[in-house]
Amino acid sequence: MRPSGRNAEQLRTVIIETGFSRHAEGSCLIKCGDTHVLCTASLEERVPPFLRNSGLGWVTAEYGMLPRATNTRNRREAAAGKQSGRTQEIQRLIGRSLRAGVDRVALGERQITVDCDVIQADGGTRCASITGGWVALRLAVNKLLKAGDIKSDPLTDHVAAVSCGIYGGMPILDLDYAEDSEAGTDANFVLTGSGGLIEVQGSAEGATFSRAQFDHLMDLAETGIAGLVAAQKAAIAG
Amino acid sequence: MRPSGRNAEQLRTVIIETGFSRHAEGSCLIKCGDTHVLCTASLEERVPPFLRNSGLGWVTAEYGMLPRATNTRNRREAAAGKQSGRTQEIQRLIGRSLRAGVDRVALGERQITVDCDVIQADGGTRCASITGGWVALRLAVNKLLKAGDIKSDPLTDHVAAVSCGIYGGMPILDLDYAEDSEAGTDANFVLTGSGGLIEVQGSAEGATFSRAQFDHLMDLAETGIAGLVAAQKAAIAG
Amino acid sequence: MRPSGRNAEQLRTVIIETGFSRHAEGSCLIKCGDTHVLCTASLEERVPPFLRNSGLGWVTAEYGMLPRATNTRNRREAAAGKQSGRTQEIQRLIGRSLRAGVDRVALGERQITVDCDVIQADGGTRCASITGGWVALRLAVNKLLKAGDIKSDPLTDHVAAVSCGIYGGMPILDLDYAEDSEAGTDANFVLTGSGGLIEVQGSAEGATFSRAQFDHLMDLAETGIAGLVAAQKAAIAG
Amino acid sequence: MRPSGRNAEQLRTVIIETGFSRHAEGSCLIKCGDTHVLCTASLEERVPPFLRNSGLGWVTAEYGMLPRATNTRNRREAAAGKQSGRTQEIQRLIGRSLRAGVDRVALGERQITVDCDVIQADGGTRCASITGGWVALRLAVNKLLKAGDIKSDPLTDHVAAVSCGIYGGMPILDLDYAEDSEAGTDANFVLTGSGGLIEVQGSAEGATFSRAQFDHLMDLAETGIAGLVAAQKAAIAG
Amino acid sequence: MRPSGRNAEQLRTVIIETGFSRHAEGSCLIKCGDTHVLCTASLEERVPPFLRNSGLGWVTAEYGMLPRATNTRNRREAAAGKQSGRTQEIQRLIGRSLRAGVDRVALGERQITVDCDVIQADGGTRCASITGGWVALRLAVNKLLKAGDIKSDPLTDHVAAVSCGIYGGMPILDLDYAEDSEAGTDANFVLTGSGGLIEVQGSAEGATFSRAQFDHLMDLAETGIAGLVAAQKAAIAG
Amino acid sequence: MRPSGRNAEQLRTVIIETGFSRHAEGSCLIKCGDTHVLCTASLEERVPPFLRNSGLGWVTAEYGMLPRATNTRNRREAAAGKQSGRTQEIQRLIGRSLRAGVDRVALGERQITVDCDVIQADGGTRCASITGGWVALRLAVNKLLKAGDIKSDPLTDHVAAVSCGIYGGMPILDLDYAEDSEAGTDANFVLTGSGGLIEVQGSAEGATFSRAQFDHLMDLAETGIAGLVAAQKAAIAG
């Protein structure tokens, strides 16, 4: 039995409140159980220096966690004077994942920055950031399309992410913090709506894992992503 | 007429949702109109080095603003590698203000850190942080009292803050961003529930101001603080 | 009785030596009792990016304290790798105060940086920095006027600052370090030569203060500023 | 055809020179084709604070690249004042991978730091660092065993890493820089000598990839790891 | 002819005002022509970690320059967030030079920090810092001796420094800024009162120099040091 | 007797392997006994801002030491977030020394950065960096000459460096670490191939030194430089 009482292949309840931020071009508060992430997409009509006059757009991401999003307070990164290696690794993953679903020619020479700020954490914050970040990005792009600033839709597909792991020998989907801290293997999967793989990351915690086990985790991920994409669609339609 | 359509002595609608954060010992989301600040109080059973073995407690504060809390995106301070002078000035003010309402002997050798993170900004974020921060502090202290960890209440009174300014020659209460950016004088007042002054700060923006004008602003502040303290009481009782 | 033996409304002896620095466009060493601050005004024929092509000038300030200006040695901020929150708060105050006495159109697109370096500290360093900083600024502007680089005087009035506080229940003017560290309320006032208010800051230390007490402090400040402006006039004339 | 002229499943020539550094407890220079990494293992008889009195040892890694290891000179990270997100991500991966092959109880309360410094880069530096880092670790542990400082071997298996990718539609093993910069999917695999999976990382570059393709990459990885483990054995025996 | 009009072997006028700082255990303002450096010696009854329980004392130095000490304003190092390479090189030289004249056993386990802050610069600031820094150190040590905190004098001799250079082909002593910026070779010499060499540094600027020329510079230095030691003696006696 | 068993005037064995780095325009690995430094010269067709449109070229240097180049591991400077004062002092010396042998008009508006990274340290790393750095520079310039990018050779002479010291009262040449850490005086000399002096640096460690002793060290240096220049010639010819 999982600590959460969920079935092995059961996602946490997903709630996506769009338009959470008044100022951002696109935004949502995504809640995957007790993990709550505020995602905002900010549009700028300029690109980083390496893309000037290239005709290509850019999508990037930043990630942060409020000091008391977790069970014990973490030091504020702004006060520490730098972002941790973990933070940088996560925001690089979010940006790379979202860009995989973007036609940068269609976007044109503009940049969209997706900020993912964890308000409350209970495991799976990087995956929630990708899933919610895509919704914020979708809404910002919709605004550009509606205003006629871009002609064809630069978003080629949904992008969503979910974690899987091996808990007590059993492969399970969408780990919360209690499950994650006990899991023997921890994996994150980023997929498109049509099932294409964008990122696959699996790490042994303690014992190594087998190809068969990893395959099982990928099966779970495909199930989970289907549920998350459905939630994205409902939120956008809403 | 004010851009907001409010009367000169009218506060913005104040909403204080307590228990917004699952992990913190005390927390609330305070909304003063479109200014939304998440305040959490985190308890630690140790004090900074300069207070060790003094028998005295400590209350401190940190302040942050999400990158897209404002109309245009600001650079993330953690990415910039330091907190701005403005951020440091604000968090020093919040900490000093809250400590003015604390009996540090009664608190005992423990530290409470109040984090104030601006989710959405529309003027008056430092005042909302103090008013909401006090609620988070109150809730964390209530928990200590209930658990019997401290005997007598270390909070000596309510602490709340409000801004005033001179807009188009007219003294007005609780400025939003549109009003603040046009105001000729900008002032912040921190008071206790019983009307004692904790902090008084007035700055000329452009023209100087007179003692009579400043007196008028203080009258407005007393009115405003009364309303904010009532909101704090309702939230705590709630 | 005050530790200093002064009357409640008595300033410390003020000495302003102009031309202390050979290289700066304007400079003075201001001594308010044992508080000694070297103030230099440096002219540059360019403005910060946000003012380019605006036709407006800029006046800014930086503040520092030599490591052994105080009773025990403080860590050098350059070695620590950053300016403290206190330093940043003070230099923002000095810059804001001086700008309140400047017609930035008349100044034209140039920047004057006023550096205030505390050589020896005995309380009231931020106020001495403003009062002395204005003299350095005045001298640098005089040089511009004499050279014909600007036509009309951009300095609209004197700017000076003084601290007041409540010591042993008695409101007193111009606190030295011994008085300041025991004061129940600490306030700083920045005024123009004609008595207009630029900045008003009062903080409770321990007990809160009343409006009547704060009014009393403002009375003292007006007296003190008159004395400081007289000293500025004598120094400039000298 | 691959730019390197190798077969799809062919490793680059691997040369591991042990004892390259006179001072380190264990060291080697690993050459995977034109990628050359100096790996040193440094022993300390103390552990990080979070492990004190736990009876557990620690293995950690740091990664660096000489400024002119690459085709154009990169800015020295020490001069830039921080390690890039990429550097931190890589050194976290190396440390995590090596720890997966260590029995930390058997190691006892001591720390081994594996430094991987890229002398010359031609793709696959993180994989070469893991493969070479394990050799340095093995040599340092051998020294401890020989001295009788530890009783039972804390290294549970070989650890090695290799990259795979899809180049021109074809899955290939052990990409050099020319291949890597054109690859459609980029993956890194860390395995034990007995074939257990430690880390699996795949990223789409441009188009997404399918499960079948990813399976193919894993087949290649298993072939490659076998060759690298053989090279490790030869070097240690050497 | 030198720009300064001085003879080749003529020092600038040296003025050493002792007791310039009220708080420091020892202090002076040294003026070598238009180069003015404030030197303070601060005593602490503890040593750096590497000397704890060694019975040895420590003397160290820090160096800084006020932003407008020079002809054009330099960026404040505290604002830049680090000390320049030049600053660090100079303060290492000052500390090393002063320690060469200290019997660290006689000093006992205490540290004296000599701060050298350049108020006004006209060439030769590092040499003036050493010469003035020794006076501050002497005064602080005298205080310790007088109080009976140390028994035997830990200062073994005077330490003073002077620059020499080749200007227009002619070796000259004690260069001011105008001379220094045109000099073909620039050298600094640190000597004891009895003529022992502590530091010798010569750099070619443009053309190389010969051993004969360097010998000539050393002759000049011996002359200069004699004059500076006489000034130190007068200041201490004064 | 020296710990190394060498005669007083005997250099360590010098080996210079050119072309050690595949990417750099010029490179070598210089081995002076157990001190091994990798030197690379990187060419850029642009100069620092202060030289734009001056027609002058620039040669600069950076220095680093791998964490385990020494007997005990040093903290990685990139992880520490800054270069130490020692590192900055050394790289300034290397750059200044190499520039002394460059005709910057003949070089034209381009920059060559010489990176000196210590792979293994056994004393004298700064001198080995200069001697090896010159070889890397020579090779990069040869490439420019061969390609016809510059017409006349901008290198006016060889540049090499060696340390000398007084060990057990005896002046000796080219100290290794064991000798250096016991030496009473430590000196570094940078000379041209034709014997011109570029840099002379001598420091007392403990006792002061006399002019006669310093003269003796300079004699040794001239001998040593002759040997090093011969090694440079052989390497270049090789």
pLDDT reported for residue D207? 87
- The per-residue pLDDT for range A41-85, each reduced to its tens digit, is 999 999 999 999 999 999 999 999 999 999 999 999 999 999 999
pLDDT reported for residue B207? 87
State the average pLDDT over residues E4-8: 94
- The per-residue pLDDT for range D71-95, each reduced to its tens digit, is 999 999 999 999 999 999 999 999 9
Whether the per-residue pLDDT at C112 is higher than 90: the answer is yes
What is the distance, to the nearest Å, from the Cα of residue F134 to the centroid of all Cα atoms in its chain?
A: 7
pTM of the model: 0.93
The pLDDT confidence band at residue F137, using thresholds 50, 70 and 90, is very high
* Interchain proximity C197–B204, CB inside 8 Å: yes
pLDDT reported for residue C1? 83
Q: Which residues pair with C131 in a beta bridge?
A: none
Tell me the two tokens of residue B59.
């209350």
Contacts of D178 in chain F (CB under 8 A): none
State the average pLDDT over residues A88-111: 97
Q: Which residue type sits at F85?
A: G
Rounded to whole angstroms, how far apart are CA atoms B174 and B187? 10
With CA atoms as reference, the chain C residue closest to E66 would be C117
Rounded to whole angstroms, how far apart are CA atoms E222 and D11? 68
Contacts of D35 in chain F (CB under 8 A): none
The pLDDT confidence band at residue B1, using thresholds 50, 70 and 90, is confident
Report the residue from D89, D209, D210 with minimal CB separation from A85.
D89
**DSSP H helices in chain D:** 77-80, 85-99, 104-107, 125-146, 177-180, 211-237
pLDDT reported for residue B205? 86
- The per-residue pLDDT for range D171-210, each reduced to its tens digit, is 999 999 999 999 989 999 999 999 999 999 999 988 899 9
Rounded to whole angstroms, how far apart are CA atoms E33 and E29? 12
Contacts of B73 in chain A (CB under 8 A): 42, 44, 113, 115
The pLDDT confidence band at residue D1, using thresholds 50, 70 and 90, is confident
Rounded to whole angstroms, how far apart are CA atoms C213 and C205? 14
- The per-residue pLDDT for range C171-204, each reduced to its tens digit, is 999 999 999 999 989 999 999 999 999 999 999 9
- The per-residue pLDDT for range E179-200, each reduced to its tens digit, is 999 998 999 999 999 999 999 9
- The per-residue pLDDT for range C35-61, each reduced to its tens digit, is 999 999 999 999 999 999 999 999 999
User: Exposed, middle or buried by CB within 10 Å (0-12, 13-18, 19+), for A214?
Assistant: buried
* Interchain proximity F68–D22, CB inside 8 Å: no
Residue indicated by tokens 């504060």: B61
Whether the per-residue pLDDT at A238 is higher than 90: the answer is no
Q: Calculate the dihedral angle through the C-alpha atoms of B138, B144, B146, B150, rounding to the nearest 10 degrees.
A: -110
Contacts of C89 in chain B (CB under 8 A): 85, 88-89, 92
State the average pLDDT over residues A210-228: 97
User: Coil, strand or helix: which one is B35?
Assistant: strand
With CA atoms as reference, the chain F residue closest to E205 would be F100
Report the residue from C89, C201, C218 with minimal CB separation from B88.
C89
> What residues of chain E have any CB closer than 8 angstroms to a CB in chain F?
82-83, 85-86, 88-89, 91-92, 96, 100, 187, 191-192, 196-204, 206-211, 214, 218
Long-range pairs, D207-210, Cβ under 8 A, ≥24: D207/A196, D208/A100, D208/A191, D208/A192, D208/A196, D208/A197, D208/A198, D209/A196, D209/A197, D209/D166, D209/D184, D209/D185, D210/A196, D210/A197
Report the residue from B89, B198, B209 with minimal CB separation from C85.
B89
User: Coil, strand or helix: which one is B217?
Assistant: helix
With CA atoms as reference, the chain F residue closest to D74 would be F42
Report the residue from D24, D64, D67 with minimal CB separation from F76.
D64
Looking at the complex, report in whole angstroms how far the Cα of residue A207 sits from the nearest Cα belonging to chain B: 31
User: Coil, strand or helix: which one is A194?
Assistant: coil
* Interchain proximity E115–C68, CB inside 8 Å: yes
pLDDT reported for residue E28? 98
pLDDT reported for residue A216? 97
Contacts of D82 in chain A (CB under 8 A): 82
- The per-residue pLDDT for range F71-102, each reduced to its tens digit, is 999 999 999 999 999 999 999 999 999 999 99
State the average pLDDT over residues E27-31: 98
* Interchain proximity B82–A77, CB inside 8 Å: no
Report the residue from A85, A86, A201 with minimal CB separation from D200.
A201
Contacts of C85 in chain B (CB under 8 A): 83, 85, 88-89, 91-92
State the average pLDDT over residues F186-215: 95
* Interchain proximity D214–A202, CB inside 8 Å: no
- The per-residue pLDDT for range B122-163, each reduced to its tens digit, is 999 999 999 999 999 999 999 999 999 999 999 999 999 999
Whether the per-residue pLDDT at F238 is higher than 90: the answer is no
- Diameter over CA atoms, chain E: 56
Number of CB pairs < 8 Å for E and F? 83
Looking at the complex, report in whole angstroms how far the Cα of residue C26 sits from the nearest Cα belonging to chain B: 24
The pLDDT confidence band at residue F16, using thresholds 50, 70 and 90, is very high
Listed in sequence order, the residues at least 6 apart from D2 whose beta carbon sits closer than 8 Å to its beta carbon are: D8, D167, D172, D179
Whether the per-residue pLDDT at F202 is higher than 90: the answer is yes
